[in-house]
Each structure stands twice: as structure tokens, then as C-alpha cells.
Structure 1
Amino acid sequence: MVRPRGGSSLGVDIRGDTSAPAMSTMNEVSPIEPTSPDLSKQLDSQTQAQAQDKSGKPHSKRRRTRSYLHRFADTCLKYTWLLPLLIMIFLLSLYAVNPTPSNPMHSAIFLSYPQPPKTPGGPIMYGKGKKDIAFVAFYTIVLSFTREFMMQQVIRPLAKFCGIKGRGKTARFMEQVYTAFYFGIFGPFGLYVMKRSTLWYFDTTAMFEGFPHREHEACFKAYYLLEASYWAQQAIVLMLQLEKPRKDFKELVGHHIITLALIGLSYRFHFTYMGLAVYITHDISDFFLATSKTLNYLDAYITAPYFGTFVGVWIYLRHYINLKILWAVLTEFRTVGPFELNWETQQYKCWISQYITFGLLASLQAVNLFWLFLILRILANYVFNSVAKDERSDDEEEEEIEEAQAEAESKATLATGAQQENQAPKLVVNGEPVAEQRGPRTRSRKA
């Protein structure tokens, strides 16, 4: 089999739910390019002109404050991890004033609603409540800082070291390396949590036994809420729409909406065992997806066999296991455990929740099937297409063309501005522009 020339090993970009951008990879937040000397002079002259008012006095305090705010905003746009860091420091400082459970910030930093052990020497269990929203919100900020800092300060230099060229490809590489790092931690963490529960190994009957599951161990609750923070952070950046939508943008948005709905409803109505299983199937498959994309960008020799492994993991976890869960919703949901709606006893496993759960999981499965179709098409093209050619993804090719056009337009704009500056009249006499004479001036003699 002949490997493609001058591009990634698979020839195209692999689709999936790890394509959500970060603030540091947005087109509008790209590193500031050096300006031309003429443009720098214009900016300097404008700054000096704004530094004085009409009377020639120094600019007012209001203008000085506005200038500081503009500089701070520009700095936050250039270093996208700075603002989340400052917010974290501020919130942690509020907690440091009174580091006790009575401090409202305690519920944002630590797990809330601890319950005494059910058995002597047993683990402390944690209930659920509104304070958990503060926990999710705080760690959404923490994950925002972690993501942006790692991508800008660690992964971007790594991309340069690995020879990744092009702004679009560099952005994709940064996104996938961080995603692989995150799920490389939370994938095994989820398996550890499942191992400590009765759910091991994807036992669908245990999802409904002992319902409602209102209390959990610390590791279970922390894992569930931290995952909620991760997907909330992803959705916020995705919904900003600060970059050109990719071809599967609608499916990606739909996936995030369904995921957040499943997280919120499963936690509120105590279907967390089912949610844990869905979490794990997506976390592990996302790790293989992100690492497969990373190897693809690096044009590594193991890309093809690793991609085949990824396809097997994807089909097993996202389709076999999740279809097994869907079948359990249709069958065991009614027969295992109580099946009634009682708000006082928090019994929510009834026909309404059954329809909602099945609808959301089926919608998630439909999106995953769409991505599976794209993945299998990539695999088929690689296996059966023996023509060695530069068959890069449409997104990468379009980005390279757009970058070249933007660079050409920028140079043309600067050249036109410099030409107009040289040709434009400098003097105005009686309201009419008059070209400035550049030759030596001579005094006229009176006859």
C-alpha cells in the first residue's frame, strides 16, 4: 500500500466529538503578527494624538483608565489562560479569608452534602443538591485555565518541535493532544470508579437495582461532576462560534447538547449509574480518537494500525455497549427495581423518564453512527485506494488557501496604504488639497 505524499498518513482529518476548539485556537485569538513599520508609525501617531485633549493637556483619568482596560483585554486575548487564572486566584482568596465549611466558596472547591457511613468503618457518602452547581462552575474555570495554559505554553511549542506547519493544522494538533491528555487521565479514573461500584463490568441490571441512587462515594461524585465541568467548558467555547464552523459543526453541537442534557437529567433524577457507563464508553473511545488524530498529524508510521485499533474500540464502546444500554432501557428499566413516579420518595423511574432516557440515548447513538460512517469511509479509502496523491482533508486544504489569501490581502493592504500615503496631498489651501513640493524652495525676486 502506498502512503500519501506530503500529507497525513490517512489523507484526511478524522471526524468525532473531540473537535471542539479552544480559545487559544480561535482564528480571532491567534498570536499577534508583527506590524509593518508604516502601520506602527500610524498607530504611534494615533496614540500620541489621543494622549492629549484639545487644550493640549494630558489625557483625563477616564481615558487613562480606558487605555488600561484596552491593554488588559488585549493581554487576555493573547494569553487566553490569564483571565481564568485571575478568577481562580480571586475565588481562592475569598476562601482563604475563612477556610471553613461556613464559607460559601467551600461548596465550590470541595464536595458538598457529606453523609455518615452506612456501616461502621464504611466510606463517607455524599448526597446531591444545589451547591453542586457551584462545584461544577468553579471547576469549569479550572479546566478552562488548564486547557488554555497547556495548549499555549506546552503543546504549541511541542507542535513547532514536531514540525507541524500551518495555523489550522497546528490548532487541530493542540486540541487533540490536550484531549488525549485529559481522557488519558479520566478514562482510567472512570474505570476505577466503576470497579468500586456494583456496575462492573457494564452490568445493566445494576443500573436499576437499588434505585434511586441518591448518595455516592467521594470518587464517584467527583468524577461525575468534573466530567460535567469538562463538557460545560467545551460547550461554552463551542457556542461562542468564534471560528469558521467545520463540516460536522451541527453534529458536534447536537452531541454537546445531548450530552449536557443527559448529564444534568441523570444527576438530578438519580440515573447516575447509567450515566457512569455512558461516560466511560465515550471517555476511552475519545482517548483513542484523539491519539489517532495526533498520530495522523505527525504522519507517524503506526498511524494506520493504530487507526484500525481505534475503529475497533469505537465500535465496541460507542455502539455495542451503548446499544446494550439502550436495550436495557427498553426491557430492564421496567422490570428491575421500582417503577413509579413519587416526588416525595424521589422515585423517578417511570414511563416518562423511560421515554426521555431512551430518546436522548438514541439521539446520541444516531450522532455516533454518523461519525462511524465517516470513520469507516476513511478506513475504506485508505485500504482500497492505492493511488499515491496529496489527498488532504477539505478543511485543511481550505484553511491553507484562506491563510494564503489572507496573507496576500494583508500585504496588498499595507502596500496600498503606503502608496496612498506617498501620493496623497499633504497641504490644504482654501479647502482644496495641494500636492506638497518636495524640491528645494527658491525665493522669487521682485522685478
Structure 2
Amino acid sequence: MEAMLNEWIWQEEYWLPPGIYWRDIEIEEDDGRFPLPRDLIYTLPLAVAFIAIRYVFERLIAVPLSKRLGVKDRIRIRAVSIPKLEAFYKQNNRQPLQSEVASLRKQCGLSERKIQTWFRHRRNQDRPNNTKKFCEASWRFVFYLVAFTVGLGSLINAPWLWDHRECWRGYPKQPVAEAHYWYYILELGFYLSLLMCVSVDVKRKDFKEQVIHHIATIFLVGFSYCANYVRVGTLVMLVHDSSDFLLESAKMFHYAGWTKTCDSLFVIFALVFLITRLVVFPLRVIHTTLVVSLEFFQPFFGYYFFNALLLILQALHIFWAYLILRMVYKFVFLGKVERDERSDEESEVDDEEEEEAEDEGDDRTWEQRKGAINSKLASLANNCVLNNLTNQRNINSRLPKAR
């Protein structure tokens, strides 16, 4: 296995500039740590540990905090137990086609409207409530805040934070500090845990973009570590963490119903996001990897692959910036933020609940309708009786005078 890896994967032309071999970049233990691909194995158990820590955090800290902040869950009607519809829902489709509804109508003996209403109730039943979304946002907020603080503390005295040419001076024979090593391992382990939990987390409108972002980030962090792009990689992670914790904090207050605090945090997040992702990231980070790096070595496979991943991230930044600018425009000029443009809303349309309420009005039993009609008729009758009595009293009061 090791011979196959060395022959197919760890070839020098993939990872190192032309004319440099693995033996040329060996670093003595006294000089510091040199990034080795086997170090990334530790990220797998670390990702599992993150999932376990998240489970404990959400139940012991996030749930009590959500109650203290006033997070309220919407009460949803549970679907009546119908085995045939339940089997179709789990095995085939959550939103049946018209032909499938007709087939289910024959099997269950229910009307098409009742079947469609049942599926709406069942989908709403599986929707995550505000408490679940609050717990997820609070977990990410804590990690991004800690990661940004640790990353900034470890890089504040690093020369490549201020002079980006230092990212390539002496490359690829650059030792890695212990703090930067753990910064890398923790970030990679966290994004692996997010990818493992993507099937159980809240599915958002930008679900596909989020999955692409996680995969690109994992490849970017892993490849940059193996190719010793650690100095640039730390800058990329710091730029991303600088705005992520602001977004998660805005989500937390959004679920808690603190509208003014949420909107204020969102405006701050939008400013930081637009500056870091559309100005700092392309003009400083991507520029140094595309242009400045060529002053120190000739292009090779790692150069093209690394920059391709960075450009994918930048494309996602532009996509999210477009959504953010739309929200900022509506917030500033229209005085409101449309909920369907927030990145933390589910992918399914929330209007289903409104449609559900209308259908419930249409599907009410005859007894309920009859009761409502009787109450209205009684009210009308009382009004008519009162009017008649009033008129009668007026007539009686006039009779003595007439006599």
C-alpha cells in the first residue's frame, strides 16, 4: 500500500515545484515540525470527537440558553397515522405527483385533497423547529469565535500576515509552528464533522452550495497542508472565520425573536463579509497565490490545483454576496428583510403552512361549519329581534299621544 501511494499519489511533480524532491525538504527535529500527509489521519477521530462534543453542548448549554432567550417553537399538527401513506412517504416521495395521489386515493379511500393535506402535515412534522436551528447556530458560533480568536492570536506576530511575500520565501522548506499545526488540524476536523452531519442538519436554501463549500474547504485545507501551503492556508482560514461567527450570532437572535439585535448583527456581518471576501480574499490572498508565488518557483500541478480551489471559494463568495446585498437593499430602502432570502431558511417553501391553514378551513367537518353558520344566524336573528322590539317600543310610545 505504501509503495502504491508513493508511486501514484506522493509523486514530487504533484506536490513540489520542478527540481525539488522530498529529500530536499527534510527538516531536522530541532528546526520545527514539517507537515506530513500522515498527520491528517488524526482529523478523522477528531471529527467524531467534535460530533460527540456538539451533542453534549446542544443538550447541556444550547437548549437551556434557547429557553432563556425566549426561543419558541411553532406548534404543528401531527399527521394522522395512515400506514399506506406513511410507507409511500418514507420509501417513494415526500411530494407525490398528481398521478401518485390518484393511485393513493384508490388504495386508501380518501379524497385527493385529504391526501395532499396529509402529506403537508407530514412534511411539516419533519421540519426542524427553532430550538434545533438555534442549537446548530450556537454550536457553530462558539467554534468560529474560538477559531478566529486562536487563529488571530497565533498569526498576529507572523511576518506573512503583514507581508505576503513571506508566504513563499524559502518555500517549500518552511517549518510549521505547533500553534499553526493545531489550528490546521482543528479546522479540518471541524469541517469533516460538518460534512458527516450534513444529512441530519437543517437543510437550507443554499444546501448544495454549502456542501460544495465544505468539500472544497476540506480539499483546500488538506492539500495545502500536504504541499506545505500552510502560511497561505492560515490566512484563508482567518479570513473565513472573521465573519462566520457574526452570521451565526445573527441567526441565534433571529430564532429568539430579537429582531433589532438580529438586524444590527446582520448589517455588521454584511460589512465584514463584503470587505473580507470580496476585497481582502481576492486582492491579497488569491493575488499572492496566483502572481506573487511565481516570483519564487515555476508553476506545477499543486499550483494549479490550489488556485482552482481558491477560485471555487471565490465564486461561492460572489454568490452569497449577491444574496446579502439584496437583503441589505431591502433592509435599508424598504425597511424589512425578506425571510426567504436569509441563508438559514429551509429549502422547502414555508408557505405550505399558510396553505395548510387554508386547507384546514376547507376540510372542516360539516358539524363545525354548521356550528359557525348557526352562530352567525343567531347573531343576525338577535339583531332582527332587537330592531323589532325597538320599533315596537317606538310605536307604543306614540300611541298615547295619538289617542
Normalising by the smaller structure, the TM-score range is 0.5 to 0.7
Deviations 1:132-186 (A, max 9, x none): 1332122112211111111122101221222212243222211111111111111
C-alpha separation in 2, matches of 1:151 and 1:171: 9
Q: Distance in 1 between matches of 2:178 and 2:208?
A: 36
Deviation at 1:213, TM superposition (A): 4.7
Distance 1:253 1:397 in 2: 17
Higher alpha-carbon Rg: 2
Partner of 2:264: 305
For 2:337 and 2:219, locate their aligned partners in 1 and report how far apart those are by CA, in whole Å. Answer: 45
Q: Superposed, which structure 2 residues align to 1:406-417 within 5 Å?
A: none
Q: Confirm or deny that 1:220 pairs with 2:180.
A: yes
**Is the 1:169–1:396 contact (alpha carbons within 8 Å) kept by the matching residues of 2?**
no
CA RMSD of aligned residues (A): 3.2
After TM superposition, the structure 1 stretch with the greater mean CA deviation from structure 2, 284-293 or 352-361, is 352-361
Query: How far did 1:259 drift?
Result: 0.6
- Equivalences, count: 277
CA separation of 1:391/1:210 partners in 2, compared to 1, >3 Å: closer, same or farther?
Answer: closer
List per-residue Cα deviations over 1:383-409 (Å, max 9, x = no partner): 12247999896639846956997xx99
Q: How big is each residue's C-alpha offset from its partner over 1:280-313, in whole Å with a ceiling of 9 and x where there is no partner? A: 0011111111112222223333333322211111
Distance in 2 (CA, whole Å) between partners of 1:259 and 1:366 is: 13
1:328 counterpart residue number:
288
| Other-structure match for 1:195 | 156
Question: In the alignment, is the contact (CA less than 8 A) between 1:169 and 1:297 conserved in 2?
Answer: yes
1:400–1:157 CA distance, 2 compared to 1 (3 A): farther
Partner residue, 1:248: 206
Find the counterpart in structure 1 of residue 169 from structure 2: 209
Tell me, yes or no, if the aligned pair for 2:167 and 2:232 is still in contact at 8 Å.
Answer: yes
Is 1:184 the equivalent of 2:145? yes
1:314 aligns with 2:273: yes
1:290-345, Cα deviation, whole Å (9 max, x unpaired): 1122222233333333222111111121221110222222311111x233xxxxxx
Task: Give the aligned residue type for 2:142.
Answer: F
3-state SS, counterpart of residue 132 of structure 1: helix
Return closer, same or farther for 1:403/1:172 CA change in 2, 3 Å cut-off.
Answer: farther
Q: Indicate the residue corresponding to 1:235 in structure 2.
A: 195
| Preserved CA contact (<8 Å) 2:176 2:230 | no
Residue matched to 1:175: 136
Matched, 1:373 2:322: yes
Q: What's the secondary structure of 2:197's corresponding residue? A: helix
> What amino acid does structure 2 have at the position aligned with 1:306?
L
CA distance in 2, matches of 1:368, 1:165: 32
Q: Secondary structure at the match of 2:321?
A: helix
Q: Would the alpha carbon gap of residues 159 and 213 (structure 1) be closer, same or farther in structure 2, given more than 3 Å must change?
A: farther
Q: Does 1:132 align with 2:132?
A: no
1:243–1:399 CA distance, 2 compared to 1 (3 A) = farther
Shift of 1:372: 1.0
SS in 2 for 1:302: helix
What's the counterpart of residue 436 of structure 1? none
- Secondary structure of 1:117's match? helix
SS at structure 1 position matched to 2:264: helix
Find the counterpart in structure 2 of residue 282 from structure 1: 240
Distance of 1:244 and 1:304 partners within structure 2: 22
Contact 1:213 1:271 in 2 (8 A): no
Ranges in structure 2 where 5+ consecutive residues have no aligned partner: 1-25, 74-127, 361-403
Counterpart pick for 2:308 among 359, 367, 372: 359
2:264 is aligned with what amino acid?
P
- Per-residue CA deviations over 1:191-228 (Å, capped at 9, x if unaligned) read 12212422223x32122111015531111101111111
Matched, 1:163 2:70: yes
Q: Distance in 2 between matches of 1:150 and 1:317?
A: 30
> Normalized against structure 2, the TM-score is what?
0.62
The two structures have a TM-score, normalised by structure 1, of: 0.56
The answer to whether 1:264 aligns with 2:222 is yes
* Residue aligning to 1:116: 29
Structure 1 unpaired stretches of 5+: 1-112, 119-124, 340-349, 410-447
Q: By percentage of residues, which structure has more helix? A: 2
SS at match of 1:395: coil
Name the counterpart of 1:395.
346
* Runs of 4+ deviating beyond 6 Å: 387-394, 402-405
Q: 1:127 to 1:391 in 2, by over 3 A?
A: closer
